[in-house]
Chains A and B, each alone.
Chain A
Amino acid sequence: MRRTVPLPSATAAAPRAAFRRGVREGAPFAAASLLLAASFGVLAVDAGFPELAVVVMSAIVFAGSAQFAAVTIIAAGGGPGAAVLAATLVNSRFLPMGIALGPSLPGGRWRRAAQGQAVVDASWVMAARADGTFDRHYLFGNTGIQYVGWLGGTVLGVVGGGLLGDTDALGFDALYPTFFLVLLIQEMRKGRGRGVAAAGAAIALVLIPLTPPGVPVLAASLAALIGLRRTHRPAPPSPTEGAT
């Protein structure tokens, strides 16, 4: 599994073509996002959020699992501090994901940080190349179409929520895990990381009853550190190794 692929030329594909491919391949995920967002809209209005605040939240937070976490806590009678903390923990996985993406982004610090906002789970997974770099134009297209689905679905849920009734009775709570499971299956088909996936699942399972929401997922990312051991050269005294 040791890869010695050199960094590809950054101009492997025309940016516009990559963007369009991202939009095309992100479209099914956008359709799934639309359903998820509709269920979020219903839940948030039921929790007492003003309709406008729900739509604005999807527009400027745009992080589904974090939004669900925050609203679920408010619905259960929790305070705003607990809600924001839960959302932050659930989002904490974007920290290692952003660290992975960073070197593939051009420009100064602030420009890179702005481009980093385009990360959502599906686009990040799909934009990853085998050599550890990311196709940023593909990422932008893939995320862009999902943003449309997420925002549109939220509006539908807020406006038409009364028509849907009880979203749990409709099985909407199965949508999110299935969304991630499909992504996982696609990732497994690349033929790597089965053991790491199993370890990540085990870590999360053990931590669910022991830690606040979000921590099990963040801790599961530690399973990826097994990648450090798959090296045959002795650790060189290189000061740059620690920079990541």
Chain B
Amino acid sequence: MTADAWVVVGLCAVSTATIKGIGPFALGGRPLPAAATRVIALLAPALLAALVVTGVFSENGHLHVGDEAVGVLAGGAAALRDASILVCVVLAAVVTAALRALT
């Protein structure tokens, strides 16, 4: 296990550095075409929405709805009321924990 753990750590480090580095390595300081700029501006909402959905509804490759969905909703509601991100994530955890304690 110990050896496996270090292999995982080492390979994950190499893989992450490679993925993060490829784009900047290949593309230098020249302006992008307008169409590419529009696509880039839309990448963040697409990726973030997908990260929220997979974080809430994916469990071991299956769709699943649990108490944490309600907690995340509560955190999102706080964000809409301009709460700081720390308040939002703590609220989400507290609501989730409370639901689990009650059910």
Query: Do A and B form a real pair?
Result: yes
Interface residues in B44-68 by Cβ distance below 8 A to A read 44-58, 60-63, 67-68
Interface residues in A217-235 by Cβ distance below 8 A to B read 217, 219-228, 230-231
Q: List residues of chain B with CB within 8 A of the CB of A175.
A: 89, 92-93
Query: CB-nearest residue of chain A relative to B94?
Result: A171
Q: List residues of chain A with CB within 8 A of the CB of B28.
A: 102-103, 105, 109, 112
Having A53-B2, A96-B47, one finds 8 other A-B pairs with CB under 8 Å, namely A4-B34, A80-B11, A87-B12, A101-B23, A113-B21, A175-B92, A180-B51, A197-B49
Interface residues in A124-159 by Cβ distance below 8 A to B read 124-125, 128, 130-132
Nearest CB on A from B64, distance (A)? 9
Instruction: Determine whether the beta carbon of B9 is less than 8 Å from that of A184.
Output: no
Instruction: Determine whether the beta carbon of B47 is less than 8 Å from that of A95.
Output: no
Instruction: Determine whether the beta carbon of B55 is less than 8 Å from that of A99.
Output: no
Instruction: Provide 20 A-B residue pairs closer than 8 Å at the C-beta atoms, listed in order of the A residue.
Output: A7-B31, A61-B16, A84-B15, A98-B22, A109-B26, A112-B28, A113-B20, A169-B100, A173-B96, A174-B75, A174-B92, A177-B51, A180-B52, A181-B75, A183-B44, A205-B53, A208-B63, A212-B61, A221-B43, A224-B39
CA distance A219 to B50 in the complex (A): 9
Place the interface of chain A in its size category.
Answer: 35 or more
Q: List residues of chain B with CB within 8 A of the CB of A49.
A: 1, 5
* Residue from B15, B28, B46, B56 with most neighbouring chain A CB atoms (10 Å): B46
Instruction: Determine whether the beta carbon of A185 is less than 8 Å from that of B93.
Output: no
Nearest CB on A from B20, distance (A)? 5
